[in-house]
Chains A and B, each alone.
Chain A
């Protein structure tokens, strides 16, 4: 890892302590992710994937929802193109997530930024976003390695739990029996609260919520996230402009 080195005038620190901070902050969430990693490993074996295949998918694709959906489509005669296309569509929301982090990522060296993005998941993205908002409030210089650290925590647990589910676990209760399915909603709720939405954010939030509710009902997979996000963004762009002075850097 690089030592703190703001070489460019507006370069962002990318330090080992920053990486550790991200890793630690993400640990509770990564444990929740591991429950689904075990589930993925188990289902992958039932679907006939070898350990190597399941592990390769977790190591290389590293995207929970799309991996579980891929298992649904897995069979003796693989529909290669439709599997890849489905994966692409399920993960399209990452485009907006990466864009939302770009104010910080553009201040890193390209290798640091595009390397960190390989490990970006819904969870590590949201944690990083919360951290950056907090840094801005406290006028603290953010550390660009936080995203990588948080992503690595999820990566390690996702891959260990994939192996565990494939090799050892013979049966798994429905995570919902222990309320664990709700852990993710809880994390994202807490992070939304942590963004401290203001009066001017109400209209975009309502637009996003209504659109997501409607699309979750009408469309398959994760389209509702993309549709809700776009609706929120459009409401902000074309709705009434906030009257309060300079909005500051609250990305």
Chain B
């Protein structure tokens, strides 16, 4: 196979498995009745995913990131304004990184 064909085959394979992961959740859930433990499991998933994405940066990357996460959360709590909270977080992390070297 030519290199281009191989590379396009790879890209198409990557695209296929990625779409499978995107579609699988709905495909499975639409065939299940969600009650009891499964319901409690599924209800906890969104916040758990967000907490998991945040955790390594917020708690294990350094004081600048930890403080910026707190600042972001505070602005989001007070204003409910996403762009504003995002800007506050970026500004705090930038300032503290410069200040702390």
Contacts and interface: CB of A to CB of B under 8 A. Distances in A.
Contacts of A178: 90, 94
A190 B42 contact: no
Given A61-B14, A78-B6, A251 B56 contact: no
Interface band, chain B = 35 or more
A244 to B, nearest CB: 13
A99 B45 contact: yes
Interface string B2-33: 01101111111111011111111110111000
Contacts of B99: none
A51 interface: no
A193 B51 contact: no
Main secondary structure, interface of A, reads: helix
Contacts of B20: 88
A66 B18 contact: yes
Nearest to B82: A190
A183 B25 CA distance: 27
Interface residues of A, number: 92
A232 interface: yes
B17 to A, nearest CB: 4
B10 A228 contact: no
Interface string B59-101: 1100001001100110111001011011011110110010000
A186 B56 contact: no
B14 A57 contact: yes
Contacts of A126: 50
A211 B90 CA distance: 26
A229 interface: yes
A55 to B, nearest CB: 10
Contacts of A228: 48-49, 51-52, 55
Given A182-B90, A229-B49, A105 B65 contact: no
A71 to B, nearest CB: 12
B41 A61 contact: no
20 contacts: A28-B82, A61-B14, A87-B14, A91-B17, A94-B24, A95-B24, A100-B49, A117-B19, A117-B26, A122-B53, A185-B68, A186-B68, A187-B82, A188-B53, A192-B54, A213-B60, A217-B60, A224-B52, A225-B52, A237-B38
